[in-house]
């Protein structure tokens, strides 16, 4: 997910910060101390600096079309191991209750950012939707690696892996889209899907499109928003708890470091400009798993083995949150 575009305005640039802030992470993520310590052991060879990213986000059901804008389609000839390592995905995106397991009775909604076909529907994804605080475009096409591996492919692959992991533990898992729509859904519809499912946890999957040298992951938490149809006040605390669990377990499983360009080294960022968070009535966070425009992060994001680790880290964070 990039910061320039519909649901993703750029935050103020921050300088990369490490050192004492790394130690502070253990206080922010008390349930995942082992994960943070594992990251410290791995270290971080990231560069510094900050920049704006290329567009990203997702879209919805047809509505009154707004001004049309062109969307470029990333090359399909990306060099990666995604096809070989991608697990076969069920044809349907409907939820599949599991019979037993520690998460029996729990509902998890996974929101794979963007849609592989969004680029074919520029007018639809550019029409405006109300996110409570203001109006924004339905969605964007998402970003990609320099070699053309798209964010939409990445998020759907990780979503499939997460679904398999969570269903084995008894959870009922629903995807907001499974590559089975011509475009979208829009950011407001994505929020409604989680709300209608009465989800115990919702995670929106993304990968950033920031400047080269900007590395690492960050989890986006909802700010306290009360405007129009948006009221996040009841979910702010629970969403932070969910985000902290995911951040800690993501570090432990992947060895990736928190972002060196947003979040001041904590891996946590609070936003009030995202419709998917503003309109949610259930605990929800976004995760930017890495920066697709940085060659070192791109090497991870295009690795099926690393995506399996990412799926496991996010899933285990959800499990820890749901177990309390």
* pLDDT score of 279 more than 70: yes
Three-state DSSP at 142 gives: coil
Q: Taking residues 76-90, report their average pLDDT.
A: 44
Q: What is the rounded distance in angstroms from the CA atom of residue 128 to the CA atom of residue 124?
A: 9
Mean pLDDT of 83-97: 44
Q: What is the mean pLDDT of residues 206-218?
A: 98
124, 189, 288, 316: which one is catalytic? Answer: 288
The CA-based angle 302-177-291, given to 5 degrees, is 30
Quick check: 184 and 120 in contact, CB under 8 A?
A: no
Whether the pLDDT of residue 260 is over 70: the answer is: yes
CATH of domain 27-44+51-58+95-323: 3.40.630.40
Backbone angles phi, psi at 176, to 5 degrees: -70, -25
Q: Of the ranges 79-83, 201-205, 211-215, 237-241, which one carries the lowest mean pLDDT score?
A: 79-83
What is d(CA 44, CA 215) in angstroms, rounded to the nearest whole number?
A: 9
Residue 136 has pLDDT above 60, yes or no: yes
Task: Extract the tokens encoding 256.
Answer: 């990736």
Residue 86 has pLDDT above 70, yes or no: no
Q: What does the mean pLDDT of the chain come to?
A: 79
Residue 168 structure tokens: 């084995």
> Pick the residue with more confidence: 5 or 324?
324
Is 0.95 topped by the overall pTM?
no
Q: What is the reported pLDDT for 81?
A: 53
Pick the closest to residue 207 from 142, 147, 133, 253 (CA basis).
Answer: 142
Mean pLDDT in residue range 192-216: 98
Contact 299, 291 (CB under 8 A): no
Mean pLDDT (whole number) for 288-301: 98
Token pair belonging to 223: 């700010």
Asked whether 217 and 300 are in contact (CB, 8 A), the reply is no
234 vs 96, residue with greater confidence: 234
Question: What's residue 22's pLDDT?
Answer: 40
Q: Is 137 a catalytic residue?
A: no
- Please report the pLDDT score of residue 273 as a whole number: 96
CA distance 308 to 323: 22
Q: What is the pLDDT of residue 83?
A: 45
Element (H, E) at 159: helix 151-168
Is residue 28 pLDDT above 60, yes or no?
no
Strand partners, 269: 220
What pLDDT does 194 receive? 98
pLDDT of residue 71: 35
Least confident of 11-25, 47-61, 304-318: 47-61
Residue 152: name the closest of 55, 225, 253 by CA: 55
The phi, psi pair for 265, rounded to 5°, reads: 80, 0
């Amino acid at each position: 997910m990039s910061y320039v575009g519909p649901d993703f305005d750029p935050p103020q640039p921050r300088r990369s910060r490490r050192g004492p802030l790394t130690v502070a992470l253990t206080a922010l993520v008390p349930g995942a101390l082992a994960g943070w310590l594992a990251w410290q052991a791995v270290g971080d060879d990231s560069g510094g600096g900050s920049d704006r990213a290329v567009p990203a986000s997702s879209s919805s059901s047809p509505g009154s079309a707004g001004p049309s804008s062109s969307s470029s389609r990333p090359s399909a000839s990306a060099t990666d191991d995604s096809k070989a390592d991608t697990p076969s995905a069920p044809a349907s995106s409907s939820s599949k209750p599991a019979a037993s397991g520690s998460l029996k009775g729990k509902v998890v909604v996974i929101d794979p950012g963007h849609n592989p076909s969004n680029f074919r529907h520029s007018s639809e994804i550019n029409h405006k939707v109300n996110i409570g605080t203001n109006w924004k475009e339905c969605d964007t096409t998402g970003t990609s690696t320099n070699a053309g591996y798209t964010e939409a492919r990445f998020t759907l692959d990780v979503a499939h892996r997460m679904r398999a992991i969570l269903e084995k533990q008894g959870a009922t898992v629903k995807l907001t889209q499974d590559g089975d729509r011509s475009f979208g859904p829009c950011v407001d519809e994505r929020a409604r899907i989680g709300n209608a499912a009465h989800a115990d946890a919702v995670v929106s999957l993304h990968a950033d499109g920031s400047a080269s040298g900007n590395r690492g992951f960050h989890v986006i938490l909802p700010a306290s928003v009360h405007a129009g149809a948006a009221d996040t006040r009841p979910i702010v605390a629970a969403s932070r708890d969910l985000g902290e669990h995911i951040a800690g377990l993501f570090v432990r499983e992947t060895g990736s470091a928190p972002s060196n360009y947003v979040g001041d080294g904590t891996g946590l960022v609070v936003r009030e400009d995202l419709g998917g968070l503003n309109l949610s009535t259930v605990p929800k966070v976004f995760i930017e798993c890495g920066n697709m425009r940085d060659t070192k992060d791109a090497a991870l994001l295009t690795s099926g083995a690393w995506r399996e680790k990412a799926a496991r880290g996010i899933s285990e964070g959800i499990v820890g949150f749901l177990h309390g």
